Amino acid sequence: MEEDRWNAFITQVEAGEPGPGPLSAKKLAVKDLFDTAGIRTTYGSKIYADHVPERTAPVVQRLLDAGATLVGKTHLPEFAWCVIGVNPWYGTCHNPVKPGKTTGGSSSGSAAALAAGLCDLALGSDTGGSIRIPSACCETVGLKSQWGLIPLEGTFPLCPTLDVAGPMARTVMDTALMWSVLTERPAPEPRLAGLTVGLVRRAPWVGGEYVPEATDLAEQWVGDLERLGAKVVEADVPEPEANTWPMFEHEALEAHRETFPSRAEDYGFTIRPKLERALDVKPEEVEAAYSAVRAWRRYEPPVDLYVAPCVTGELPPEDVDERDVRFPFSASVRWVNLVGWAGLAIGNLQLIAPRDETVLAAGLAWERG
């Protein structure tokens, strides 16, 4: 068992003998949001600190059946609702490649374990950037899969209309291999040549007071995209017809109905205020949010895929107050969950399209160069 100097794991386990299959001999780290039979699964919470599931989540079992060996359950913020790698019960996850800077959240430990070489593959979840933000912060690769493709049974929900599981690795090739096992589909062939790529300078507003600012960060990738045969054009993404946050807050509150507010004192500083605010959401606001999301998901883009950064600005320190960074830090990724599309992070580069195969093919072409 390797030393974990980065607090990337909540629970480490001794790797067993690798089995046969496409992931044979690959060391796997699993976000501690996914159930694993006989192994403590905390969901990053105090309430479930001693929880040991009887069954393994199907998404984890598929990876194990493909030959991967489990080395541990990775750090996450409490119940996966935080964009930085802090947890009041299990400490702060540290960034192996940018010491003192945040790992991002909520798949913080999955990205950190990869960056530190403690695993070859990692499983994460993404509700509003939780795979892509840590991948950007830790300079790894992660796929936010298109909504509804990868099963989420045996995973603690945050907002089921937005929740997805996704593969994480140090290369696009390993991410695509893992994705193939998770989805039971063949990995796509590399492809960028002939595709039209929309350059996103400003992420769409998704509701609330924060309005995303324009950025020219994506311009740094235009030359290489064009060299690889893509046509890059300016692109705007339409905005929803109403504030979408009430839907998120409503579903999060429903997910915690059994323990909140009845056990509010057992919730920590990152999530308790959010759930308290959710108690005040009005039914008409929730319905308007659902209507807006349904309409937004019918949008058909005029380009094959989009390019945008995952995060903008300097990375905040690991002990930053999340309230100071939550909305700007997640603005470039959150809208992708709301439209239900796929988003592939290659470091801070984000490729976005309605289907997983499109972004994986483009990412494989990008990696091949």
130 catalytic? Reply is yes
Question: Minimal CA–CA distance to 146: which of 336, 366, 310, 299?
Answer: 336
- Encoded amino acid at 194, one letter: G
Q: Which listed residue (46, 73, 101, 106) is catalytic?
A: 106
Question: Which helix (H) or strand (E) segment is 265 a member of?
Answer: none
pLDDT of residue 51: 98
Question: Minimal CA–CA distance to 242: which of 174, 291, 172, 198?
Answer: 291
Q: Are 344 and 366 in contact (CB under 8 A)?
A: no
As a whole number, mean pLDDT of residues 132-158 equals: 98
Question: Which helix (H) or strand (E) segment is 279 a member of?
Answer: none
Quick: pLDDT tens for 343-352. Answer: 999 999 999 9
Domains of the chain with bracketed CATH:
9-183 (3.90.1300.10), 196-238+297-368 (no CATH), 245-291 (no CATH)
337/5 Cα distance (integer angstroms):
32
DSSP 3-state of 272: helix
Q: How confident is the model at residue 306 (pLDDT cuts 50, 70, 90)?
A: very high
If you count them, how many residues does the chain have? 369
The per-residue pLDDT of the chain, averaged, comes to: 98
pTM over 0.95: yes
Quick: pLDDT tens for 270-292. Answer: 999 999 999 999 999 999 999 99
106 catalytic? Reply is yes
Q: What is the residue-wise DSSP string for 305-356?
A: EEEEESS-SPPPBTT--HHHHHHHHHHHHHHHHHHT-EEEEETTEEEEESSH
Query: What is the sign, positive or negative, of the torsion defined by CA atoms of 340, 344, 350, 352?
Result: negative
Q: Which listed residue (130, 145, 330, 332) is catalytic?
A: 130
- Encoded amino acid at 220, one letter: Q
As a whole number, mean pLDDT of residues 29-42 equals: 98
Q: How confident is the model at residue 16 (pLDDT cuts 50, 70, 90)?
A: confident
353/235 Cα distance (integer angstroms):
13
Token duo for residue 279: 């108690």
pLDDT of residue 210: 96
* DSSP classification of residue 105: S
- Encoded amino acid at 63, one letter: L
Q: Which listed residue (26, 27, 31, 144) is catalytic?
A: 31
Strand partners for 349? 309, 346
